[in-house]
Structure 1
Amino acid sequence: MTDAAATTGAAAPARGTGDRWKRWMRAAVGLSLAGRFLVPTEATLLGLSPGDAAADGWFSAIALLALSVWAGRAWWSGASQTDGVRWGRCETLLAAVVLAHGLAAAPIFWEGGPRRAAAETVFNWAGLVAAAVLLRSVWRPGDSVRFAALVVACGTAAAVVGVWQVTVSLPASRAEYLDLREREAGSDSRARTTARARLAAMNVPEEPAARKRWEDRLLGSREPFGPYSLANTLAGVLLAAALLLPALVQRIDRSTVAAIGLVAALLVGVLLLTKSRTGYVGLTVGGLMWAGLRWGRGAGRGAQKKAFIGAAIAGGLLIAGVTAAVWLGQLDREVISEAPRSLAFRLQYWAGTLRALADRPLLGTGPANLRPFYLLHKDAAASEAIAAPHNLILDLWTSGGLLAPLLAAALAWCGVRRWRTPPPSPRAAEGAPPGWDSLFTGTLAAFGLVGAFGGLLGPIADVEPGLNPWIYAMVRGWDAHSILLLAAIPAAGVLWFAGRSAGGPRSTGPAWAAACVGLAVHLLGADGAEFPAIVAVFLLALAAPPPRVVPDDLASVSQARRDWLSPAICLTSGLLAAVGVWFVLLPGREAGALLETARAESARGRDPRGTLLRAMAADPLSDSPLAASADLATVRSLADPTDAGARRKAVGLWNDLLQRRPGDGRAYERISDLHRAAGDWGEAVEADRAAARLDPSAAAPQARLAVSADRAGDRATARAAAEAALERDAITRDAGHRDRVLPDETTANLRSLLRSGD
C-alpha cells in the first residue's frame, strides 16, 4: 500500500516503478543506520584510530547519496510531496542542527584544533539527518514497529559481541598482552622484534604514559563494550533496545513470551555487565515510563493482564541477571558503593565544562575540541582530562554551540507533537500486511558488509612483511567480524519476528517514548550525545510516527517552494556526499593506512620517515602524521643529544604541530625534553612554563618546571613551581586518584629543592 492510499483509505494501486525505488531507498537507509551500530561510532569525537572514523563515514555517504537519488527522482518525475521528499518543521530543525555544528567547527580551522575530527563530525551529522529525512519520505504503515526492530536487532548483535568479549576475547587479549610484554623485555632480540611488531598491530601506544593507560584499561577492566569503544555506549544501545521490545509484541502467547524473554535476558544481562550506573537508572526510568503510559492507555482486564505479565517477566529477568552477574564475578558491591564518588566526578566535569563554556558561550569549543579548554578550568581534584562533558546538554553545547541544545529541545517537542497527532484512520496507523521488508534486507546487508569486509572499510595498511595488505585487512579483525556474522542470526530472528507481527493496529508510542526518555536520562551522566549510534535512536523515533493526510505542515507550503525543494535537496545532498568522500573519507583512509604502516615499520626496525611524509601529504586535515614524525625525530635526537641539527629538526616539527594544535601541552613537554638533553635549561624552562599554563591544575607540569628552573638557576621560579606541584599533588592524593599522583621520588626531590632554598 502506498502512502497516499494508506492515508486516504483508498485501495492500493498496483506496484510500479515508485515502489521499486522506495524498496531500494529503504534498503539503503537500513544499511546506513544498521552500520552505525556495528562500528566504533565514538571514533571521531574521542580521537580514536582513523580507520574506525573512516568506516563510520562511509555510512554517511550512503545515506546522503540515497537521499540525493530519491530527491532527484522526485524532481525528474514531478512527484507529489507524499511520493517525494517529505519536509516539515522537524526536517528544518534537523538541517539547522547540521548548520550549527558547521558553525561551531569553523573556528577550529583558523584557531587550531582537531580539523579532521571537526570535518568528520559535521559530515556524520549530515549523513544521519539524511537518513532520517529519507526514512520519513519512504515511510510505510508498520514502520513504527520496523524501526524499533532495527534497533532491537542491532542491540541484540551488540549484546552477542559483549558476551563474546567477556567470555573469550578479553581474557585472551590479556593473556596475549602479558606474554608479549614479557617477550619484549626478554634478552632474545628476534623475540623482542616480533613482540614489538605484534604490539604495534594491537595498536598498543609506544609512549609510556599512554601505554600505561592502555594497559590499565585492558588488565583492570572486565566490562564489555561490544562493537564500540566505551561500555557506556554499549549500555545506551542496550537500554534503548530493551525498552523498544514491547513495540514488537502484538499478542501475548507462549512463543511470544519465549522469544521476547530470550532477547530481553540477553539485552538486560549484558547491560548489567557494563556496570553503567547511568544505564541502570535510564532503564529503570524508561521502564516506569512505559508502564505508566501503557496503564494510562490500557482499557479493560486484558490490557492490565498484559501489563502484569510484562512486569513479572521484566522483574524475573532482572533478578536472574543480577544473580548470574554476581555469580560470575562481573558485578560487585562497588558498583553501588562507588556511585556517590562517580557522581562527584561528574559534578567536577560539569563545573569545569561550564567554566570553559563561559569563555565561548555561542559557538562552544567545537567538535572533539573540549579537552584543551577544559584543562584551563579543570579542578585539581577532578579525576581525568575529559574529551566530552558526560552530559547530554553540555555535550551538544560544546560540540555544536548554544544553538545545538536549543534545537534539540525544539526537536523533542516536534517529536512529541508528531506522536500526539492521531493517525488519519485505523487502517493507516499500523495496518501494513505482515512480512519481510527491504528495510530489513538493508539491515542484514550491514551485518554482511561489516562482518565479512569490515577490515576493508578502514585503512589498508602494509603491516606484515610478505602479506598482501588487502588480505591482511580482511583477516586482522576476523575474530570480531566473525562474531558479527554470528550475531546476524539472532538479529535476523528479531527482524523476522517483527515482520511477522507488523500488521494490525497497535500503539507503539509508549515504547518509543520510554526508549528516548531512558536514553536521555542515561546521557545526562554519560558520553554519547554526539555519537552516531546514539543519535540514530533518537532520529528513528522522530521518523517513526505515521504521517498525517497532508504530511507535516505541507498544506501551507506554497507551490513555488514545492518546485524548488526536491532539486535543492538533491543537489545539496549530492554535493555533501561528494565533498565528504573526496576531502574527508578518502584522505583519512589513505593517511590512516600509511600511519599504521609506519608504526609497523618502526616496530620492525625500519625507517618510517618516508611513509610519514606521504601520510602528511595525503591528508592535510590530519595532525597525526606530523605528531608521529615529531615523536620519531625526538627519539632520534635524544639518542644523540650532541647532534644539534637533529634537535632543531625535532623542535621545528613540534612547533609546526603547535601551529595547528596550540593547546597541545605534550608538544611543549617534548620540546622541553629535547632542550634538557642538550643542557639548554633556559629554553626548557620556557617550554615547561607554556605546558603548565595549558594545564594549570595538574601537578606534573609544575614539577617539570621546578626541575628545569632549578637547573637554570632561577630559584624563585623553581620554588614557586615546587610548591604548586606539591599542593596539586596533595589534592590529587586526597581525591583518591592514585594513577595521577607524582612518584614518591619526584615529591621527595621537590621537598629537597624547597629545603635547599631555605
Structure 2
Amino acid sequence: MASRGSKPPGPSLQGRGDRREGSTTPQIGPDHAGFESEAALWAERLRRLALGLLAALIAARAYWPSEPAPKEGAAAGLGWDLAVFLVAALALAPSFLTGRFAFRFAWTDAAVAALMFLTALSSRRAVDWRIGVNLAWEWAAMGVAYLLLRWLPRTRGESSVLALGMVVTAAAVAGYGIYQGAVEIPQLQAAFRRDPAAIERQIGAPGSPDPADAPRRQALENRVLQSNEVFGTFGLANSLAGLLVGPLVLILAMTLRNLARRPAAGDSRWPAVLAAAVPGMLLLVCLVLTKSRSAWLGLMVATAILAWGARRLLPRRLLLGLGAAGALVVAALIVGGLATGRLDLQVLTQSSLSMRYRLEYWRATWAMIGEGASTPGGALGAANFWRGVGPGNFGAHYVLYKLPQASEEIQDPHNLFLEVWATAGFWAFLALVAAVGTGLGFLLRSDDETEQAPADRPMWPLIASGLGLAMVLILGQMNLFMEDLLIRWLILVVFWVLSAALLLPLWRSASVPAFGLGAAAAAVTIDLLAAGGISYPAIAMNLWGSLALGLNLIDGRPSGRLRVVESRIPGGALAIAWAALVGSYLGATIPFWKSEAAVARAESALGRMPPDFDRAEAAYQIAEALDHYNVRPWLGHAYLQSLAWEARGAKAEDLRWKTIPTLLLKAASPPRSPDVWSLHSERAAITRDLLKRLGQRLSPREIIPLQASIVEATRTASRLYPTNASLHARLAEASAEISMFPDAAEEAREALRLDALTPHADKKLAPAVRLRLQENLPRWSEPPGGPSPKLP
C-alpha cells in the first residue's frame, strides 16, 4: 500500500486539462506496459465520463422543483437518485482497471456521510412510510454526489470549472426568474382577475362556493394579486434565493481575486470583471426580486467575509471604492423596485413580523423534538429527540404542536439545524454541525493569498454541466409542449450560454479561491438558518458542492491532497456497499413505480369519453396490491367510485356509494398514513356530503353509522391538529347532530377560543359558522333534562 501526494501517480489520474501538474510513471515490465497503458487510458475516460455526468446531474436538478410534492408521493427525484447511483458505479470502474483507488479525505467528509446515512435511516420512523422512503433516497443521493465531487476531480482546474458550472446554472435560472417577474406573473394575475375559479382549480385551491372556504379564497386572492416575488423553477421564492446566493458570492470572490492578481504587460484586469458583472447582475436582481430577507442577510455576511479576506490583497482605497459601488447598485435596485412596484416597503417594515413567524415555527418544532406524545392510531412523538420523525414527515407532526396564533401548516421548520434534528434526531444534528463547522473552518482559514496564477481550465466539465439542460427533459419528465415549458426551457438555454460566455474570461484570468467557496457556503448556511431547503437537492448541493470543491482546492493540506491506494480492495468494498445500496433502492422503489404505473392507467381510463370505469377500477385494485404503502391508489379509487355513482344517477339503492367512505378509511389506516389529519378531515367531509344528499332516502339505521363516522373522523383530525378552529367547529356540530351535547359544547368553546387567538383570516371561522356556534352553545351547555331550577 502506498500513499502519494497531490500529484497523481500515472496517466489514469492525470487531468489533461492541467499540464502544470506532473505525473510520475511507475516502473513496469515490458510485458505489462501496453496492457497497463491501455487500462489507464480507459480508466481516465471512464473517470471523465463519470465526472461529466455528475456535473450534468447537479445542474439538471435546479431546472425543476426540488420541493417534494406529498400528494404525488414525493417521488419527483427518484430518477435523479438512481442516475447518481449509476454514476457512482461508473466512478468505481477505474479502480478495477488500474488497481489504484484515488480519494480525498477530511473530517468534513465523514460528517457529511454520517449525516446522509442517519437521515436516510430515519425513514423507518416515518408515519407516511412511502414518502419517508422516497425522500430517504434523496439524502442518500446527495451524500454520494458529495463524495464523488471530492474523489473524481484530479486537478484544481477541474474543481474550478465545476464551480463555474454551478454559477452558470444559477445565472440561467436567475435569467428565467427575471422573465417570470416581468411577463409570467402579470399574465397570471390578469388570468386570475378574468376567471378566479379556473386558476383555483389549476393550482389545486378550494373553488367551491362554501362560505367556510371564503377566508382561504381571500388569502389565495391576496397571494396571487398582491404578491409578486419570483420563484423561478421552484415552488417558493425562498428556495430560489437559496440557489442564487452562493453563486453570487462566488462571482464576488472571483472578482476580488482577479483584481488582486498582478497582470502581465499589456494585460488588463477590468474586461473580465466587467463581462462577469452581467451574470452577476442577473443573480443580484433576481435575488432582490425573491424578497428573501434571509438570503439578503447571507449575502451581506458573506460580502463582509470576502472584504475581510481581501484586506491584505487589495489597496484599501480600491476595496472601499468597490464597497461604495456595490452599495450604490443595491440602492438603485431597491429604488427601482419600489418605483415599479416590484418591491414594497413591507419587505423591510415587516421583517419583525416575519421573524415572529419563524419564532413560532421554532417553538413548536422544539416542542415536537423535546416532548413525546401518543396520538390516536399512530406513534407520533415517541423518541423524536433521538431518532426524529423521518424525511418528509415533519408536516404531519408539526400540526400537533403548532401554536394557535401561528400562520400556516409548514412542511419544514425554516431552520436547517432544527430540520435535521426533527427529521433524523440528535446524532444527525451533531453530524450536520460537524460537517458545516469543520467545512467552513477549513475553507475560511485557508491561506491562498500567494496563489495568483490560474491553473489551466479544462472546458469539458462546463460543457457537461450544460448538458443538464437536456438531461432535465428525461429526469424531470418535462414535456416541452405542455403549458409554457418550451419558453422556459429556451430562456434557460439562452441565459446559460450567455452567462457561460461572459464568466469564462474571469475564470481564465484568476484561480478560484477556496476562501471564496467557503464564503459562498457560509452565505447558503445563513440563508438556511431562517429558510427551508436543506433537504432539497438543488439548494443543498450548493452548500455541499461549495464545501467539497473548496476542500479540493486546499492543496497544501491533507483535506485537499489526492491519496492513492495501490489495491483493488477499497474499490471492491465500495462496490459491495454500492450493490447493497442499489439493491435496497430497487427493492423499495420498484413496487412504488409499478403502483404508480397502474394509477396512470386508471387515470387514463377515467380521462376517456366516456370514462371506462371498469378498466380504471381494475387498475386501481392492481395499484393497491402492488404497494401497500402508497396512499394514491386508495384515494383515486374512492374518487372513481364517486364518479361512477354520479354517472349512474346517484341513487341510494346503488350501494357503490358505501365503498367511498370505506376506501377513504383504508387510505388513512396503517400501513399508509394513519396520522395525517387532512385524510381524516377529507373522509369526514365526503361522508357529510353523502349524508346530505342521501339523508331523506336512508333509514335511521343507515344514517346513524354515517353520523358516527363523521364524528369519529373529525375527532381524529382535530386531535392530530388541535389548534385548528374549523375542525373543532365541525366536530361540535357533528356531535350535536347525534345528541352528544356536552362534547358539542366543549368543542364549540374550543373553536371560539382558537378563533379569537389567531390573527390570520384564513385560520378564522367563517362568520356564519361563528354565529351558529355562539347561538347554539347555551343550548348545548344545558344539563340533561333542561336548565337547573333557580334556587329561591
Q: Give the whole-Å Cα distance in 1 for the aligned partners of 2:489 and 2:560.
A: 44
1:551-589 Cα deviation digits (max 9, x unpaired):
549999998xx6532112233335534654675379449
Per-residue CA deviations over 1:395-418 (Å, capped at 9, x if unaligned) read 111222222221111112432454
1:444 equivalent to 2:469? Answer no
Q: Identify which of 169, 177, 184 aligns with 1:169.
A: 184
Kept in 2, the 8 Å contact 1:41–1:532? The answer is: yes
Question: What are structure 1's unaligned runs of at least 5 residues?
Answer: 185-197, 461-469
Per the TM alignment, residue 207 of structure 1 is displaced from its structure 2 partner at its CA by: 7.0
Instruction: Tell me, yes or no, if the aligned pair for 1:149 and 1:494 is still in contact at 8 Å.
Output: no
> Residue 103 of structure 1 contacts residue 363 of structure 1 at CA under 8 Å; is this kept in 2?
no
Say which SS state the counterpart of residue 163 (structure 2) adopts: helix
Judge conservation of contact 1:204–1:211 (CA < 8 Å) in 2. no
Deviation at 1:598, TM superposition (A): 2.3
**1:262 CA displacement:** 1.9
**Structure 1 residue 23 and structure 2 residue 48: aligned?**
yes
Q: Which runs of 5+ in 2 are unaligned?
A: 1-5, 26-39, 260-268, 373-383, 696-702, 783-792
For the residues of structure 1 that align with 2:308 and 2:561, how far apart are their CA atoms?
A: 34
- Cα displacement (A) at 1:471: 8.3
Q: In 1, distance between residues paired with 2:304 and 2:189?
A: 39
Aligned twin of 1:369: 393
Report how far residue 120 of structure 1 moved: 2.6
**Do residues 655 (structure 1) and 697 (structure 2) align?**
no
Name the CA distance, whole Å, in 1 between partners of 2:591 and 2:192.
32
Match of 2:137 in 1: 123
Distance 1:333 1:604 in 2: 52
Match of 2:323 in 1: 311
Query: Which of 160, 164, 172 does residue 157 from structure 1 map onto?
Result: 172
In 1, distance between residues paired with 2:514 and 2:145? 21
Pair 422,515 (structure 1): closer, same or farther in 2 beyond 3 Å? closer
Counterpart for residue 258 of structure 2 = 251
More helix by share: 1
Residue in structure 2 matched with residue 645 of structure 1 by the alignment: 655
Q: Is the 8 A contact 2:443 2:518 kept in 1?
A: no
Q: 2:362 touches 2:413 (CA, 8 Å); kept in 1?
A: yes
Matching residue's letter, 2:663: L
Contact 1:72–1:567 (Cα < 8 Å) also in 2: no
* SS of residue in 2 equivalent to 1:432: coil
Find out whether 1:399 has 2:405 as its counterpart. Answer: no
Q: CA deviation at 1:149?
A: 1.6
**Could you say which structure has the larger radius of gyration?**
2
Sequence identity percentage: 23
Q: TM-score, normalised by structure 1?
A: 0.84
Hey, what does 1:511 align to over in structure 2?
516
Partner of 2:22: 11
Give, in whole Å, the separation in 1 of the partners of 2:70 and 2:708: 34
Who is 1:464 aligned against?
none
Distance in 2, Cα, partners of 1:424 & 1:304: 19
- The answer to whether the Cα contact below 8 Å between 2:109 and 2:435 also exists between their aligned partners in 1 is no
Q: What amino acid does structure 2 have at the position aligned with 1:441?
A: I
- Aligned residue for 1:397, secondary structure, equals helix
Matches of residues 64-463 of structure 1 in structure 2 within 5 Å?
A: 64-79=85-100, 81=101, 84-108=102-126, 112-113=127-128, 115-139=129-153, 140-143=155-158, 145-179=160-194, 181=196, 202=202, 204=204, 208=208, 217-249=223-255, 250-252=257-259, 253-295=269-311, 298-299=312-313, 302-358=314-370, 359=372, 360-416=384-440, 418-419=442-443, 431-434=454-457, 436-450=458-472, 454=473, 456-458=474-476
Q: Tell me the residue number matched to 1:622.
A: 630
Change (3 A) 1:623 1:214: farther
Q: 1:107 to 1:613 in 2, by over 3 A?
A: same
- Which residue in 2 is equivalent to 1:525? 530
Q: Kindly indicate whether the alpha-carbon contact (under 8 Å) linking 2:7 and 2:21 is maintained by their aligned counterparts in 1.
A: no
Aligned counterparts of 1:235 and 1:480: Cα–Cα separation in 2: 18
Q: How many angstroms does 1:419 deviate by? A: 3.0
- Counterpart residue identity of residue 749, structure 2: E
| Aligned equivalents of 1:423, 1:714: Cα separation in 2 | 74
Higher mean Cα deviation, 702-711 or 260-269?
260-269
From 665, 670, 682, the counterpart of 2:682: 670
* Superposition deviation, residue 332 in structure 1: 0.8
Q: Which is worse superposed, 486-495 or 157-166?
A: 486-495
Write the distance in 1 (CA, Å) between the matches of 2:227 and 2:632. 28
Write the deviation string for residues 114-150 of structure 1: whole angstroms up to 9, x where unpaired: x333223221222222222222212211345324322
Q: Which amino acid is the alignment partner of residue 89 of structure 2?
A: S
Structure 2 CA distance for partners of 1:31 and 1:415, relative to 1, 3 Å: same
User: Residues 90-112 of structure 1, C-alpha deviation per residue, up to 9 Å, x if partnerless?
Assistant: 3332322222012211122xxx3
Question: Alpha-carbon deviation of 1:264?
Answer: 2.3
Asked whether the equivalents of residues 223 and 275 of structure 1 are also in contact (C-alpha less than 8 Å), the reply is: yes
2:426 aligned partner, one-letter code = L
Distance 1:645 1:325 in 2: 60
> Aligned to 1:322, what secondary structure does the other structure show?
helix
Question: 416-425 or 440-449: which moved more?
Answer: 416-425
Q: In the aligned structure 2, how far is the partner of 1:217 from the partner of 1:717?
A: 37
SS in 2 for 1:106: helix
Measured in 2, the distance between the counterparts of 1:481 and 1:747 equals 49
Q: Does 1:42 align with 2:48?
A: no
Structure 1 residues 57 and 668: alpha-carbon distance in aligned structure 2, compared to 1, 3 A threshold:
closer
Distance 1:144 1:26, change over 3 A: closer
Alignment CA distance shift 1:471-1:533 (3 Å): closer
Letter in 2 for 1:242: L
Contact 2:285–2:333 under 8 Å retained in 1: yes
Distance 1:548 1:266, change over 3 A: closer
Structure 2 length-normalised TM: 0.80
Please, which of 525, 539, 543 is the counterpart of residue 538 of structure 1? 543
* 8 Å contact kept, 2:58–2:541: yes
Name the amino acid aligned to 1:484. Answer: L
Query: Residue 169 of structure 1: CA displacement?
Result: 1.6
Cα deviations by residue, 1:440-499 (Å, 9 ceiling, x for unpaired): 11110002333xxx2x43569xxxxxxxxx7866x7722322222222222322553355
Q: Which amino acid aligns with 2:757?
A: I
Cα distance, 1:247–1:567 mapped onto 2, change above 3 Å: farther
Instruction: Find the counterpart in structure 2 of residue 191 from structure 1.
Output: none
| Structure 1 letter corresponding to 2:770 | T
One-letter amino acid of the counterpart of residue 465, structure 2? T
2:263 match:
none
Residue identity opposite 1:569 in structure 2: L
Range that drifts further, 204-213 or 657-666: 204-213
Query: What is the rounded CA distance, in whole Å, between the counterparts of 1:593 and 1:648 in structure 2?
Result: 24
Q: How far is the alpha carbon of 1:234 from its aligned partner?
A: 0.8
Match of 2:733 among 707, 726, 736: 707
- Residue by residue over 1:145-201, the C-alpha shift from the partner in whole angstroms, topping out at 9 and shown as x without a partner, is 32432232121111111111111122223334554557x6xxxxxxxxxxxxx987x
User: For residues 178 and 382 of structure 1, what CA distance do their matches in structure 2 show?
Assistant: 29
Q: Output the amino acid matched with 1:232.
A: N
For the 8 Å contact 2:518–2:547, the answer to whether it is kept is: no
Q: CA RMSD in A?
A: 3.6
1:517 match: secondary structure? helix
In 2 relative to 1, CA 536–727 (structure 1 residues): closer, same or farther, beyond 3 Å? same
